[in-house]
Amino acid sequence: MKAQELNTTEKNQNKPLPELLTVAEVAKVLNVARQTIYNKVFNKEIEYYKVFDTVKFDREYIQGLIQQSKVKSKDQIKQQAGY
């Protein structure tokens, strides 16, 4: 093994693995049908991992997706605009 390969391997071992969720878990969190999640995967509308033919999702990515979907109230929009 080359020195550069060894360094890369060592770096990857120190990096924590993401906590992965199943399709059923994501569907439950988002309160949608599992088929909705599978459709998003099929259409490449959502990031996922393919682990041994099983679809998995990074918990942080799903949490970020929820935060990005937050709709601001009229008062929040006015406040940001300086009204």
Q: Could you read off the pLDDT tens digit of each residue along the chain, which spans 83 residues?
A: 455 554 545 555 677 877 999 999 999 999 999 999 999 999 999 999 999 999 999 999 999 999 999 898 998 888 888 88
Give the domain extent around 64: 3-81
If one counts the domains in the chain, the total is 1
Q: Is the pTM above the cut of 0.85?
A: no
CA distances from 14 to 7, 57, 66, 80 (A): 11, 21, 28, 41
User: For 25, left (φ over 0), alpha (ψ -120 to 50), or beta?
Assistant: alpha
Is there a contact between 66 and 55 (Cβ–Cβ < 8 Å)? no
Q: What is the CATH number of the domain that holds 69?
A: 1.10.1660
